[in-house]
Structure 1
């Protein structure tokens, strides 16, 4: 497994080189299927933009094909932005579910479809409105909560309230405990993102900018993670940990690159700016390993 750098206390920090060693570069023998197919079941009538952002990010991360399954309004917007997207069901190497959805508004048919995905063999990136279905799922899991979602997830697992964000050591231990109880990989978003696998492997990622704290950037992260998992054709917990940390690093670095287009201390960005900067972030990571 690819490792990040560690300091004198043994804390693992994910770097450009760590990310570059995880990324899979296409070869002359690859086709769109061997490069990976990611499926997104995201967006809703209330939040159709989440589908557009996740699909855009997946394409920008370098996957071979993106399948989108969702409400008609969201699908129309996806195709208007990215006409190469396939809106028919089919085989995938990874799923992204939940971005831009609300569990309280979910239909019984949609719940059944999501439970089917979560009971299958394909790894699943679980975000936002699908996190309530993650507990007890048998598929390889990568969950991506922000702070309030993380508190609810720990509650569903019967665990105590999470540690304060400022206490990084205690927060890392909390994420490790949550991952072990869930039986999956947890990526807790924050100024310092923490990743932990069910086996206890952890990493910290601090490549982002405060300008990244804006609506829709979490949907972009979901697309990045789904693309990386599909491209790697990986489902074991250790691989998902490295892929999660790599996705967080690319997402944060893309945000910094987008904000850096403005002089001085950078300037405001929107979520699509982050997706647009992903190829440059990937190029930086690959350059870091030669």
Structure 2
């Protein structure tokens, strides 16, 4: 696989500046509220995994709005989650949804969230609706999903084509779709419409397991909610936060695995310790702060 040389390797040194640390004056609202519309009757577990990951990444409140069964499972796992509409700073949409099986009520709710102008993570079952997005948007496809997004009548794109040069395709998609693209894979490529190109490596192969993408989406949603004000003023914040989410995801997987098999919930459970290690002072007692 050959990729352009202008991809910046995103590592702990870069990512630690993009973790929001609460101050004594903060409350649950100032720390950010993440709105979540994920899960379905077919895949209710995706809602649990995304909410679990978001809560463990560090957000003031998660507001889950989804199917009854998924909502019940979320509350059983995380009773602090709020399940009524209200204020949010960012949205996480689409994990565990199948666009082909989506009912009209769900589609309307997703379009309303996309049109709210807020920072938004678009995953899985909402990718076909990204034309309705009016705020800063990150899409999180795997190769097959990206192929579907880029295919046009008479001009199909295949997952096999993308696998040959995923970074090139991620950059092309960001430019064509006008959104930040986080292309999942053994190496994660993150590209912005403005031309920023970041990549994250080092995730253990054990991370290729059901639900791991839902955990990644939850981590990213929390980071967008805690940095919503920064995203409004910094054009490059979105791509940096997406790469940071991918790095936290990879590091948490390595911590949970320790060389052995893991489940998606194991990865979510390792996020707090991973973030604590990321924020620990560097040798000499200083923390480096870097930008894109």
TM-score by shorter chain over 0.5 = yes
Where 1:135 maps in the other structure, the secondary structure is helix
Match of 1:228 among 223, 240, 247: 223
Match of 1:33 among 16, 29, 38: 29
Match of 1:122 among 118, 121, 140: 118
Corresponding position of 1:277: 270
Tell me how far apart the structure 1 counterparts of residues 6 and 193 of structure 2 sit (CA, whole Å).
19
Tell me how far apart the structure 1 counterparts of residues 144 and 100 of structure 2 sit (CA, whole Å).
16
**1:60, distance to aligned residue in structure 2 (A):** 0.3
Corresponding position of 2:188: 193
Corresponding position of 1:153: 149
**1:9, distance to aligned residue in structure 2 (A):** 4.4
- For residues 130 and 176 of structure 1, do their structure 2 counterparts lie closer, same or farther at Cα, with a shift above 3 Å needed? same
1:212 aligns with 2:207: yes
Tell me how far apart the structure 1 counterparts of residues 11 and 168 of structure 2 sit (CA, whole Å).
21
Corresponding position of 1:247: 245
**1:171, distance to aligned residue in structure 2 (A):** 2.6
Question: What pairs up with 1:72-91 in 2 under 5 angstroms?
Answer: 72-91=68-87
Corresponding position of 1:203: 198
The two structures have a TM-score, normalised by structure 1, of: 0.90
**1:159, distance to aligned residue in structure 2 (A):** 7.6
The two structures have a TM-score, normalised by structure 2, of: 0.90
1:70 aligns with 2:63: no
- For residues 114 and 156 of structure 1, do their structure 2 counterparts lie closer, same or farther at Cα, with a shift above 3 Å needed? farther
Where 1:134 maps in the other structure, the secondary structure is helix
- For residues 20 and 159 of structure 1, do their structure 2 counterparts lie closer, same or farther at Cα, with a shift above 3 Å needed? farther
Corresponding position of 2:102: 106
Checking the alignment, whether the CA contact within 8 Å between 2:6 and 2:197 is kept in structure 1 is no
Tell me how far apart the structure 2 counterparts of residues 272 and 160 of structure 1 sit (CA, whole Å).
33
Q: Which region of structure 1 is more displaced relative to structure 2, 14-23 or 129-138?
A: 129-138
- Structure 1, unaligned stretches of length 5 or more? 1-7, 261-265
Tell me how far apart the structure 2 counterparts of residues 103 and 166 of structure 1 sit (CA, whole Å).
24
Deviations along 1:189-248, one digit per CA (max 9) or x if unpaired, are 000000001101010101310000000011001110000000011245411100000000
Checking the alignment, whether the CA contact within 8 Å between 1:184 and 1:237 is kept in structure 2 is no
Checking the alignment, whether the CA contact within 8 Å between 2:56 and 2:271 is kept in structure 1 is yes
- For residues 199 and 70 of structure 1, do their structure 2 counterparts lie closer, same or farther at Cα, with a shift above 3 Å needed? same
CA RMSD of aligned residues (A): 1.9
Matched length: 276
Match of 1:259 among 251, 257, 260: 257
